[in-house]
Amino acid sequence: MEAAGDLQDDHCLSLQLLKSVSNEFDVESIHTISLTNLGLSDISVIGCCLGLERLDLSFNDINQLQALSPLVNLLTLDVSANRIASLNGMQALDKLEKLNAAGNLLGSAEVIKPVSSLPHLRSLRLHDSLKELSNPFYMRQSYRTELLKLLPNLRELDGEVVKGPGSEVFKLMADMERELGHNSANQECVDPVSSHSLAVPAELFTVKPRELSNGDKLIEEEYNKSVELCAALSERSTKLIAQAEKKLQAQEKV
């Protein structure tokens, strides 16, 4: 109760809270923890969790990430929906593979640079259309070009495959969207739901809970990743068809 009270008063993460949420007696034994939506602004003690591999700090009030620098074993990090204006403090996270920083105050490629030297970073999200989370940097016309130049080893950007198997499909869709957008610049945006040509039942993309052994965790992660990519492709294709249909309708009226 004392930890909960401390958290409510000053929004500081405490060792007691870490132990309570993780059910671990020793914070160095924590490998995975979710601290989402707790109103946290001070996370300085998170650096004590030296064995941490997966960390979710989404939907808090965090504005800097220097406290994460000791977490050299971190593989995945979610800091979406905070007040972060720079990724400074992440330079030492050499094992980091996946970063979600959508819904923050990141305004340029310059403030993304601290993660450009991370050798294993393959997935970055700065924009999430489903959760309506973004960053000022995303509004730049050169956003995608600048990011891929800064992070040439990325395989996924904002949920889309940019390198490797599947990237050709996303590139084709992006080209089609640009073409449709150019030819229909003065037309209203179409609600993708209005087109049913490629409507796919949502339940197909619902991952049902299943019990897996520790040795199967990697398989589960790859499976979930494939489901997410399929869902993204379905959403994009439905939107493209809706745009194309409206363009054709406009041409028929001429």
Does one domain contain both 87 and 34?
A: yes
135 & 31 share domain: yes
Q: CB within 8 A of 124, min separation 6: which ones?
A: 98, 99, 101, 115, 147, 151, 154, 156, 157, 158
Same structural domain, 97 and 140 = yes
In whole angstroms, what is the distance from residue 135 CA to residue 108 CA?
Answer: 9
Indicate if 59 and 121 belong to the same structural domain. yes
Burial class (CB in 10 A: 0-12, 13-18, 19+), 131: middle
One domain, residues 102 and 199: no
Q: Which amino acid is at 176?
A: M
pLDDT at residue 108, as a whole number: 95
Q: 83-92, 101-110, 175-184: which has the minimum mean pLDDT? A: 175-184
Last residue of a domain, one of 164, 190, 219: 164
- Please give the residue range of the domain that contains residue 206: 165-254
Half-sphere CA count of 113, side-chain side, radius 13 A:
4
∠ CA 151-65-57, nearest 5°, is 95
Question: Same domain for 149 and 218?
Answer: no
Model pTM score: 0.67
Q: Looking at the structure, tell me whether residues 32 and 86 fall in a common domain.
A: yes
The per-residue pLDDT for range 155-206, each reduced to its tens digit, is 999 998 887 544 444 444 455 544 555 454 444 444 443 333 334 344 434 4
Q: For residue range 26-81, list pLDDT tens digits in order.
A: 999 999 999 999 999 999 999 999 999 999 999 999 999 999 999 999 999 999 99
Domain boundary (132, 164, 196) is at: 164
- Return the CATH number at 33: 3.80.10.10
Closest CA to 82 of 122, 42, 142, 119: 42
Q: By three-state DSSP, how is residue 156 classified?
A: strand
Q: 141 and 30: one domain?
A: yes
Per-residue pLDDT, 199: 40
